[in-house]
Amino acid sequence: MATTHAPRYSRHAAGLLCAAAAALVLGGCGGAAQHRTASAGERGAGPSGPSSGPSAGTGAGEVPEATTFTTVHGAPRDAEPQGATDGTVAHPTRPVPVFDRPGGRRVAVLPATELGGPTWVPVVETSGDWRRVLLPSRPNRATGWVAGTGLRTARTPYTVRVEVAERRLTLLKSGRRAGRWSVAVGGPRTPTPVGRTFIMASVLPAKKSPSPLVLPLGTHSATLDTFGGGPGTVALHGWPDASVFGKAVTHGCVRVPADALKALSRVPLGTPVLITA
């Protein structure tokens, strides 16, 4: 398959998106945290696949939408949290059912949009016409199977690597280093969660914030249920005070220098992000 890019998406936040953007901007930066109470060009339509079972609208109340605001119970856990992918990303052209295995039990509905932009998720496994994708929901490392019908696919050449102990972010393009920066990561009580995730959205905050752009990831704080009114979503974003880089001082987000944020702004949605301890 030829290398193509999933489209970038950003916009000024409004309504729900505005509230989400504010929470995501501040989720690793400041404000009052609430601790947990317990513990790009498209390739066209995806290949024709097996029947995906009931439509997303049928019995939709029985399972949640797979978004950053929800928990998907019964979703299979990512078995290779540091595994590389071939760069394939998928976009549902309409809400599609998510199953715990090909043709198995429906556990969620993957919506066509996330935080006001198009949903693009990484494909981590293929079985016939079925695609196993990473989900943006809790619990972290949640995955699900979707049928190829109703999907568009693309290829991202990028991978983002975050080394928490080294407090370093590396951007790879076609396997070659395109940039490396010292960054700030989560502090001891609110660590940046490790594992395989992805760039879920691109948000331009409507109000003045520490970062002109926020890139929410499909992963959440393991120690915070909520932050600033949002769901504790971890994000990549800028920070005006360069003295924080190289330190473990955030509430889980990864703060990056301005040139890193500029480079990351060109990375397609759905691009894998590998976070290591």
The catalytic residues are 237, 253
Query: What is residue 56's three-state secondary structure?
Result: coil
End-to-end CA distance of the chain: 33
Query: What backbone torsions phi and psi does residue 242 show, to the nearest 5 degrees?
Result: -65, -15
d(CA 102, CA 267): 30
At 74, list the tokens. Answer: 């019964």
HSE-up of residue 176 (Cα within 13 Å, Cβ side): 2
CA distances from 20 to 73, 176, 233 (A): 23, 34, 9
Q: Name residue, tokens 């690793």.
A: 28
Closest CA to 65 of 101, 110, 98, 97: 110
Query: What backbone torsions phi and psi does residue 69 show, to the nearest 5 degrees?
Result: -95, -5
DSSP string, 114-183: ETTEE--EEEEEEETTEEEEE-SSBSTTBEEEEESTTEEEEE--EEEEEETTTTEEEEEETTEEEEEEE-
